[in-house]
Structure 1
């Protein structure tokens, strides 16, 4: 096999994307989906593997900015659209494409790469670690009620939270303004780049699985939009009556009152008996609003996988919950420029991470650093699994406390 790797050209996109569809089972996306993903493709950051005139592999990165602990938005490469034609698997194409992508990301000065994995076992060998998790739930709304905090409802002359239906397209700018104010509050969230405001509204009929078109409800206080929920309703009946489901797409709010009001609304929609949601933070306040957590069928799965492309720059880009001064012995076979000893010093105001010859305090691979980077997985937990080795007494406790985040990191949408 003679393989040529080259930067994606607009004229080749249809064939390139068709290979990606084939790699994921062969079902073609709708014209609506294809149009959006073509618009969002960064052609100069995407590559194709070619065998003669045939595209046999696809991969690319997107130019994101991701919130890290401390609230800063750090340049981050979003690895996406990775696929290999089924008849060309197990020939090293994925490894070669990842090699080229990470070399490019380094040359662009972006310290982090992230991805969502179709199969989580694939990307650990390239230094990615599962740094965020998502909560999924099916809430029995015949048995569960939402308790709202004081100030949610109008009383004593106060207006409270007002809910208003809107067409999703008409409410887009208001929803994006709420989302933008939420981004800095939680590590793992992505600053919406131009064009990405269309992604939450993507609603091809063949992907609805019997549900209604996308709907939107806005939460307002004194005429200002302070929250929103986008959802669909899947109707269903049996001999006992209606048993429809509310399918929640996304929900954000700026105040606890607006947040609770939106959830209460969703649990009380007529002709429905449950809410399904597949991507909420693992520390979602909803867990403390519902009357019976056992009726919510809570589950958790991996979400965002993080890879430190430049260990020094990445660890310097975030802050640390408690003061830290620790030397890491880092193993990184795939990006050897990261391997060796790094001294991290920092606190809640800032940090520095530089090369050092000092004795190491902790030994780990770059995968563990990626897993712990956003503060959702503790270094102590990884040490319990044998993936971090303490070389200086108390170093593990110090570093594990410092890396923590007040709120769980969370990726609100895929890419």
Structure 2
């Protein structure tokens, strides 16, 4: 699969002006005190406890090679603690039928004492400028609040489903598999989760490459995992002896109420492995309820059990994308049907504005460029809407019915057919 640098190549180590004369600084990789300060500020921003020395050390390893930016206020009692942070790196994101290098943005925090001073806007607009300057076609993030990022051109691109299964009534109608489920220790679990995820993630648009500390977190062996000893792991080995799936889970047995098995992560590189791991969870002895988060909207789970009403699903937005280079982004995916349409894109920040002729022929060959009076049907939309449509997980018709995509019925139908993804996009891990 394509390899991309983990770190923005244009990294700047000098300080920059931030709003209200605050200092905007890139933290060097070897500045452990600075990285630790960023981690502490991030823990505060995401309502976490004060990190221990072991957690800070693990975090330094986890974010090595990424760009860390912090904003400092020299007037504070503790000026060495950032009042705002953001991290970024370059990763490869799967698309329908392909992939694209993506500028991943993470750990965006602003201290409650410094809100409404333009700090977040300054950081995010700089991230987009730097991503564009580096030649990246797409930026992405996961959002703790749903009303912030649309103003910067980000649109919801993947939906995460949380399943709850009443195992007392679920039953099973899924397939029998030729492989076997094996218990593994937590160190082995971390390794297998990473290997299987990397093999399987290319099958679904929207997923990204993981990293070792993330797998250790799921396996319960990362620093700060207070209940990590309760995490257990299994792997699925197929008939040829290949590991094709792995699952981290924990069982909760409260003093009262149902015994619950929480799936921390289910990673599968084949349909058989996915079904076998689901069956293991749903038919686990003495368990009344199974929960699993960050699953795709077309997950087979409801169709694997006898009583579909035993499965409830809650969905919410998860991955947000922002197209910066329309021709490069739209050329980095395959299309489900031929199309020839002009996309009239409105982008308040200017990166994607223009009239873009998208042509896909019957062989799947893609051409995207500025329209020069082609006379092809035209569809008008904003960069938020185009970014949401990019992976094929958002309905063109739904956005059209909401008045957010405008054009003739014929043009909108053709665009909907072309953008369709036969597998729903999924981001299986946060970043």
TM-score over 0.5 for the pair: yes
Superposed CA offset, 1:224-267 (max 9, x none)? 212221111112244xxx83210101112333333222212112
Please list, as runs of the form range in 1=range in 2, the aligned pairs for 1:1-400 lying within 5 A after superposition.
1-9=20-28, 10=31, 11-25=33-47, 27-29=49-51, 33-41=55-63, 45-52=67-74, 53-54=79-80, 55-70=82-97, 72-150=98-176, 152=177, 160-192=178-210, 197-203=215-221, 213-222=230-239, 223-238=241-256, 243-334=258-349, 336-346=350-360, 349-358=364-373, 361-390=378-407, 392-400=408-416
Change (3 A) 1:207 1:119: farther
Does the Cα contact within 8 Å between 1:77 and 1:113 map onto a contact in 2? yes
Unmatched runs of 5 consecutive residues or more in structure 2: 1-19
Question: How high is the TM-score relative to the length of structure 2?
Answer: 0.86
1:26, CA displacement in angstroms? 5.6
1:296, CA displacement in angstroms? 1.8
SS at structure 2 position matched to 1:260: helix
Distance in 2 (CA, whole Å) between partners of 1:68 and 1:292 is 33
SS at structure 2 position matched to 1:229: strand
1:189, CA displacement in angstroms? 1.2
1:308, CA displacement in angstroms? 0.3
Distance in 1 (CA, whole Å) between partners of 2:315 and 2:372 is 41
Distance in 1 (CA, whole Å) between partners of 2:56 and 2:252 is 25
Does the Cα contact within 8 Å between 2:161 and 2:315 map onto a contact in 1? yes
Does the Cα contact within 8 Å between 1:7 and 1:43 map onto a contact in 2? no
1:393, CA displacement in angstroms? 4.9
Does the Cα contact within 8 Å between 1:67 and 1:74 map onto a contact in 2? yes
How many matched pairs?
400
Q: Give the aligned CA root-mean-square deviation in angstroms.
A: 2.3
Question: How high is the TM-score relative to the length of structure 1?
Answer: 0.90
